[in-house]
Amino acid sequence: MKIGKLVLNSDNVVQEVANSTSYGNWADAETAALTLQSDTADDDNVVGIFLSVEISPTNYVIKSILSSQ
């Protein structure tokens, strides 16, 4: 499991920024995602936080998006 944030880049295009940490299960990833959501609540460039399933060491599929607060 991976988490990350969806951010607006300088061209106002949404970009995925995955964290380097992997989580062993959905519950741990969700807890980390909620913490990341709280930590980035004041960042106007962050439009969402995502949880994903890793399909290889370098690829993932987003399964859930937490909206920005």
């930590």: which residue's tokens? 39
Using CA atoms, how far apart are residues 24 and 17, in angstroms rounded to an integer?
Answer: 19
CA–CA gap between residue 64 and residue 12 (Å, rounded):
22
What is the DSSP track for the chain?
Answer: -EEEEEEE-TTS-EEEEE-S---SSHHHHHHHHHHHHHHTTT-TTEEEEEEEEESSSS-EEEEEEEEP-
10-63 pLDDT, tens digit each: 999 999 999 999 999 999 999 999 999 999 999 999 999 999 999 998 899 999
